[in-house]
Copies of this chain bind each other. A is one copy, B any other.
Amino acid sequence: MLEISSVSNELIKKFISLKNKKYRDEYGLFLLDDIDLIKEAYDLGLLEYYLYANKPYTDFNCENIKTNTNVLSKLSSLENIPNGIGVAKIVQNSKEYSDKIIALDDVQDPGNGGTILRSALAFNFKTMLLSSSCFDTYNEKFIRSTKGAFFNCNIIRDNLVNQLLKLKGKGYEIVIADLNKNAINVNDYKMPEKMVLVVGNEGNGISKEIENIADKTIYIPINSKIESLNVGVAASIIMSKNNL
């Protein structure tokens, strides 16, 4: 067990730098500030360091570091300082695709993304594709709002157009959610065995390039007094039509 009390310690400085995507990529590590997620990372053999202030949650078989609440507050993005922080390995994705896939085209808010992944696991869309322009998937707000779906889904951040074309070639139906009233009402849409549901940017919706790849467009009928639904809600309503 190490004991470190200073935020200017080199190892702590390295951990603090992990709040920044650049350093997450450089070190191949990311931060976890929720004990359930730390446990999941540990069970998957991904936990490298566990930092705690007073009493450790348990004796994780990794580098345990006794520190103080000041250090933890610098590492956490939460308002309330957590009891412990985990530092886990970023691993290369297995690249196995589920039959039902959710894809995000330029979604910006990690909280929306986390809500979508949580719903995706709930409705058996166990693969999430993200365009390179989306939020970073090792962002703490994203990880936290997935409520554990993070470690149970296949998350692939890459060129979305290329990915969709490849999946189309493998027999996946590419379906976009849009406000276009000439589209198919979601209540009349029958899900095929293999499909990718694509939802778009919070303000601008689906990009033209991806519209051109889509096999079908579906919409959710809503009151004309409101312009659109929250992207997480729209994605979840459509995915909920998947018979479990």
Contacts and interface: CB of A to CB of B under 8 A. Distances in A.
Interface string A147-186: 1110010000000000000000000000000000000000
A230 B121 contact: no
B226 A122 contact: yes
A118 B236 contact: no
Given A230-B232, A233-B232, A222 B115 contact: no
Contact of A230 (B119, B220, B228): B119
Interface in A203-242: 220-223, 225-230, 232-233, 236-237, 240
Given A111-B111, A221-B244, A236 B229 contact: yes
A152 to B, nearest CB: 5
A122 B220 CA distance: 10
Contacts of A232: 115, 230, 232-233
Interface residues of A, number: 29
Given A118-B233, A233-B236, 15 more contacts: A115-B230, A115-B233, A118-B226, A118-B229, A118-B230, A122-B229, A123-B222, A145-B230, A148-B227, A149-B225, A152-B225, A220-B240, A222-B244, A223-B244, A237-B240
9 contacts: A118-B226, A118-B230, A121-B225, A122-B222, A220-B240, A223-B244, A230-B236, A233-B233, A236-B237
